[in-house]
Structure formats: structure tokens, C-alpha cells
Structure 1
């Protein structure tokens, strides 16, 4: 097979030279990054620190490399299918152990954490100065024996999202079967150096946003972390890298108002006598004390109750601060950050009854049966899952009454009010209609991997898109179906890009 199939980390490379205030050993800088990268990499791993082995589910051999024969016997028992494809990683100070390993001739290569001293470097060793360099070196070694079709995907996202993808097997460090290698980018290393080894950049840039200023007619003004900003500036100098997806393509998803205007174009997909697909009725609000707010809501067909969302859709914590309001008075003391986009939660069952009464109280409305359909677009393939949604109107009213008739304020990621169960199933959704909308959105947004949420309005059967997001986790779809589709979407996008570049 070739390449690195197993990795042995000697404790010497994981421990810092200094102890903590209590005299206890501490981990070397970069150890957490390395553990996250290796935990679900599909490599066999040994960590000679017992405590960290338990945390990251690594094997642990309580034997020093100095006792090489004993160690190799334990390895042969634990990993009987691996022979010479093992990479040992040890500290440059362990010269004697290094020489023993070289004499044994059983390993592909040795990495040495160089402390910057005058160590005589052995020609068969691969030297690194930081632990963060180890995944990059593994990538280089595996590329030497990989097929010409192999694609290296560098990815960057927040650690929790990385772990969510990786534990489902989405980020193998080396996958012979699928010709993909996934390499986590480190902002502590040279970005240009890493890009030299990478064919595809898969990013969740919104995880690295510090602030956003929106402008409906122009690109948003975004402040990224230093690492993401360096990546964004450096990418134009590496035209061979296929970016999934280009930064400009994700900007509309940051702005709920732009998405709402985009969804107006769904009307072209609808046919007389069939279910319709559309966006929710909406209104942008600059001030909750606008004296003409009632008239504007009525003109925009936004009836009560309605949901109030910040215009910024993601990237900052306030993007998920929302409220469900039941009367005009609810708006006056609302704390949802401005500007906001107000959408209909439920709509009146008859055209003549739409709107607000003179007190601003909610009138008759139709529920969406507490059911949310989550759709995921992975390249050319579309998947969906059924989830619980906000409760029906009578339940929302009871929640409001229990809250002294105040708006229901919530964080959509943490405290979204949901019903006990959804009432719709797959039989309620027009899959052909929604897949047509998915293809339409793919073309309009020019995104490779994205998701959107649909609710079905009772009475009319309208399919209403209430949210669009970039690079979702799609964890509601079975891994054995979604992960191969995820990989295929990446490969197809890369090949498409290569064909575009090669054209005269």
C-alpha cells in the first residue's frame, strides 16, 4: 500500500520543556491542534502519554522506544496488518533511540522535533520545528505514493465544526479508495507554504468573522481574524487552488435581506394548479419606533405573529438573536439588533382578513404543522431531513401569555422554541418542486455545498424557504450516504475548475 498508515508519538515531543506553577508537566504548544487533526484521520495512532490517549481515544503503549524489541512486539500484536508503514515521531535529543530505529529499518521515516540546536540531521529524517507541521509532513509523505488522481483538500473552520465533520469520517488524512487527502490548515504556519501542497481549499470563512457591515448594493465590509485574512489575501497568488467556495459567492448568504430579494425569483418555477415555492413575506426595519411601521407591515403582507431576525445572518453571535412578536407594541421594546428582517411566522387564511386590527393583535392564521424540512445540496445531489419546528400558533400564544404577553426572545442556536413532535412527514413535501428550487439556487448562488430550510403552509400547500446557509453539517443525513456525496462534490468541483483553467 505504501504511505503512512500508522503513527507513534513519543511522549518527548508532546511535553513542554517547562512545568506549570505546581511543577506538573505541560503540553507543548500545538499539541491540541495535532490531536484534533489525528483523532479521526483514519491513521493508527499511538500516544505515549496515557492521559491524552484516553481523551482522544488513541492506543497507548507504556513502553519506552529505548526498549525497542518490546515495543515492536506490542505493535505487531496490536496492528498485525501494518508492517513498515509506521512513522515514529520523537525529540531531537533522543539520538540513541533515533539510531536504533534507523538500524531496525521498519519505519518509513522519522520526524524529529528540532529545538533549533546544532543537531546533526540524518538524511532519512523529516525535521519539523512545530507540532502543527506534522500533518503537513504526513501529507507530503503520502502524496509521494498516492495516485496521480489524488486531491489534497486543505480545510479551515472552528475546532468544534472540524470535530463534527471529522468524527463522521469526512476528513481522512489519506483515503486511497476515494483519492482524497484532507489537511487541516494552521494559522500558526506559513499560509503560502501550506498552499503549495493543496489542490482545494474548503473553508467556513464565517467562523473567522469578527465584524460585518452590510450594504445591499455593494459587497459587505467584513473583518476576519488575522489567519483567515492572510488566507484570503494569499489565495490569488495560488491560482491552482480551487476554493470551495469563493469568498464573493458566500457574501449573499451573510445578508438575510439579499437572500429574501433573491428568493423572489422563485416565482418563475411555479406552475398554475401546482404547489408553489417561494420565500417568506418580509420587511426590512431600521427602527422599531417608526410611526409608519404598521402600514409598512401591511403593505409587505407581513401579518402577526411574525419572526424578527437580524439582517446579518451569520458570523457574529448577535446574528442568532431573534424574537417572535404578537402585537405592534411588541416591537417598541425589542432588543433584536437593528437592522432586522421581519418574516411571517403564519399567515391569514383569507386575503380579506390579512393584516392587523386597530390594537395590533394577531388575527386568524395558519400553522406549518411544526414541521421543518432541511435540504442539503452537495454538488449535484440533494438530500433532505424532517425536523421539529416552532410550535403551532395556539402553543405560541400560550407561551406568550405565560410570559406576560411579551415577545418570545430566543437564540436560534440554543433556545429556539420547538414543538414536541412534527406533524408532517415526507409525504407532505413536493420533492420535485424543491429540487428544482435547489438547482435554481445552486445556479444563482454558485455554491457547491449549501443548505436551506422549507416549511409548508397549511391550507395553501405553499413551500416557503425560510433560511439559506453555507457549508452546513448535513448531520441529519446518514453518513454512509452524505459523506461519499460530500467527497464527490469536492472532486467534481476541482475537476470542473481544472477544465476551466486548461481551456485556451
Structure 2
């Protein structure tokens, strides 16, 4: 009996077989073509546009077309849908291990005009023709005004909330989930703009205590912005350079649930996470330690030694949570990292939210995503018909 398998909750599963079968007399070749323009980093292209997705999409009349970053977007297309995830210009923390037994970590600050993984960084055009960072947001917003019939996933202004880890969780801090099998909240956190002698006092005033999770404040799409540290004492925080978010650490049995949301569909995958910290640990350990990125854990978790007594959140809770998050965030493609507090049966914490995450690691993602694109196209056609009848 396999216990370490992804946990899946999806509304599309029961309808998949029916939807994949074309209606009598209609074949994919004669069905209406759905053109999906995309602007991705090279990393996102590799992880998302896998052969199994492209093949299934083609069989359903969906074609993925790259957006030429050296040309005006208005000159391209026409598109039915635009998918995008590009990097932004930012200051990003560069983390470097100190070569001693304590494994203390030091941070330096570096300013870059574009990120190494970003195709925009390698673009050879002029400044005006490069669709980078805020420029890309402006291009998309202007394009939507001229082409309201095109569905853009997702609106740049909505994505912006997830660029900052402070605003990310503030949006969902007062969630109320009535009649649900559980409670969802967010950990206490504190933004440190610069480290100084009063930081320990600020930590105490915020109601925080060690251990503390330390994350970069800005999420810019780079691997560095997803680095994770655990501080076992407040004095070691001076070894890091701001800006960072200090987040309350909640013991959760070393198990994290990644909740993938694609439109109305929900999928849950179990991942290994940071181990619990005991009072004994705090008395023996000091310093700041870097931990592997959680999303890099084995996708199926079959090789991980996880505590399977920690049950995934119930579907009833996830459906209400996903609905509220879609409404509050204004997003349709994102994932939520959930943990369940040790010693409780129904108290969950949202510790991170990511726009357009690694859906390629999501169980059955190619079916879920193509069904989602088909539903968007159908909704768009119905809206056009309704408008013509008015």
C-alpha cells in the first residue's frame, strides 16, 4: 500500500472523460481553434510547456504561440488567451555561505536590471521594444483596453500583490470561512527594512519569538527570492541584510500541503517541510541556517519520510478557501502553501502564495489546464453571443 502519494481534489476529474470526447460529427481538426499567446521565462517554458501538455492541447484545438518580445504586442495575434509570467527589475539578496562549521549565512545586496533566467534580459532590442518588468505590465494593461475580448491570465495589478511578502498575506489576514471543517489563518510577521540594534525590541513588540522563518521581502521570480532561512536566536539576525520578512515559525510535523488552484479546479500535493523545533533544540542551537526550497522536494513525496497521520485539509474547507482567495486576489492561477499546526486537528496556516507556480509538478496538470482553457474560451463565446442579443 502506497502512502506517500499526491492528494488530489479536483472538480474536473469526474468530467474529464466526457469532455475529452468530441461531440458526434465534430473532431479536434474542425473544432474552433483557441490561440494562447505566452510570455514566459526560459525556466517557465521548460517546466510548463511539456510535450504531454502541448500534445493534449493540440488534440483539443488549443495552440500555444510565443509572444515576440521584440515586437509590439498589438501587432501580434490575434489571441484568445494570453498567459504570462515574466521577471521584474528588482534589488535581490544574494546569499552566500560562510565557510565555517556554524553554517552561518551572510547576505549582500546587488542591483540588477534584469534577472539571469529572464528571456527579457537576453533580448537584443532597444529599451522601448523590450517588454520588461513594469514595462510589460503597462503593455498588457494597454493591450487589454484595446482588446477586451482577450483573456489575460492574470491581471498585472493583481499579480503585484504577490510580489511583496508583506502585502501577500495582508490580503488574506482576515479570512472568515463559515461552516467549514477547519480554521485558516496566517502567521504573525514583521518586515525588517534594515538591521540595527533595536531589531530585537521590534521582534518582541510584534509578539514574535525564536525560531523565526526569514524570507526575502520581494518575490521577483528568481531562485534567490524563494530562499528560506531559520533563525534560532535574535542576535544572529544581524548576519542577514534587509529587506526581509521575519515570520512566526509554527510546528507542523514537517509536512506542507501545496494547494494548486486553476480556475475552479483544486489539486493538493504533499511535500516535506521544515522539521519541528523543540525547546531542547533552542537551548542547543544558535545561528541562522539556510534550508532547501520546499517546492524542490520530491513531487510525489514517495521518497520522503513524512508523517502521514497529518491529514490534508478537507475538500469542503479548500473549496471555500479557494473561492475567497480567487475573489480577494483577483487571480485564477496560483497556489497556496498550507501547514497544519502540530497538536491540532483543524488549524491551518497560509505561509506563502505564488502566482503561476510550477504546475508541471501538479498531478494531472495537462488535463486540468487544457480543460480550464476550454472553459475560458466557451465563457468568452457565450458572452459575445449574449452581447449580440442585447
Which of 249, 260, 267 is residue 383 of structure 1 equivalent to? 267
Aligned to 2:172: 263
Which of 128, 135, 153 is residue 244 of structure 1 equivalent to? 153
Residue 267 (structure 2) pairs with residue 328 (structure 1): no
Contact persistence 2:189–2:248 (CA under 8 A): yes
After TM superposition, the structure 1 = structure 2 runs for residues 62-81 of structure 1, keeping only pairs within 5 Å, are none
Q: SS state of the match for residue 186, structure 1? A: coil
Q: SS state of the match for residue 271, structure 2? A: strand
Residue 247 (structure 2) pairs with residue 343 (structure 1): yes
1 CA distance for matches of 2:191 and 2:165?
10
Q: Would the alpha carbon gap of residues 248 and 493 (structure 1) be closer, same or farther in structure 2, given more than 3 Å must change?
A: farther
Q: Deviations over 1:329-370 (max 9, x none)?
A: 1122223x31x2211113xxxxxxxxxxxxxxxxxxxx2110
2 CA distance for matches of 1:188 and 1:255?
29
Aligned to 1:142: none
Q: Would the alpha carbon gap of residues 422 and 469 (structure 1) be closer, same or farther in structure 2, given more than 3 Å must change?
A: same
CA positional deviation for 1:491:
2.6
After TM superposition, the structure 1 = structure 2 runs for residues 94-493 of structure 1, keeping only pairs within 5 Å, are 147=30, 149-172=32-55, 175-176=58-59, 178-189=60-71, 191-196=73-78, 198-205=79-86, 208-211=87-90, 225=120, 226-228=130-132, 229=135, 231-232=139-140, 235-236=143-144, 237-266=146-175, 268-269=176-177, 275-291=182-198, 293-316=199-222, 318-335=224-241, 337-338=242-243, 340-346=244-250, 367-394=251-278, 397=281, 401=285, 405-410=286-291, 412=293, 421-424=305-308, 427-461=311-345, 462-479=347-364, 482-493=365-376
Aligned to 2:20: none
The gaps in structure 1 that reach 5 residues or longer are 1-144, 214-221, 347-366
1 CA distance for matches of 2:304 and 2:52?
31
CA positional deviation for 1:500:
5.0
Q: Deviations over 1:221-276 (max 9, x none)?
A: x989413436536624333321111111211111111122112122x11569x532
Q: Would the alpha carbon gap of residues 315 and 470 (structure 1) be closer, same or farther in structure 2, given more than 3 Å must change?
A: same
CA positional deviation for 1:437:
1.0
Per the normalisation by structure 1, the TM-score is 0.56
Contact persistence 1:211–1:316 (CA under 8 A): no
2 CA distance for matches of 1:200 and 1:399?
55
Q: How many pairs does the alignment contain?
A: 317
2 CA distance for matches of 1:342 and 1:449?
27
Q: CA RMSD in A?
A: 3.4
2 CA distance for matches of 1:288 and 1:379?
41
CA positional deviation for 1:320:
2.5
2 CA distance for matches of 1:289 and 1:244?
41
1 CA distance for matches of 2:264 and 2:51?
21
Contact persistence 1:322–1:409 (CA under 8 A): yes
1 CA distance for matches of 2:204 and 2:383?
48
CA positional deviation for 1:395:
11
2 CA distance for matches of 1:445 and 1:234?
21
Aligned to 1:349: none
2 CA distance for matches of 1:426 and 1:495?
39
* Pair member with larger Rg: 1
CA positional deviation for 1:322:
3.5
Contact persistence 2:73–2:143 (CA under 8 A): no
2 CA distance for matches of 1:173 and 1:233?
30
Q: Deviations over 1:452-498 (max 9, x none)?
A: 1111101234111111011112334333xx21211122232344345
Contact persistence 1:377–1:451 (CA under 8 A): yes
The gaps in structure 2 that reach 5 residues or longer are 1-27, 93-112, 121-129
2 CA distance for matches of 1:475 and 1:435?
22
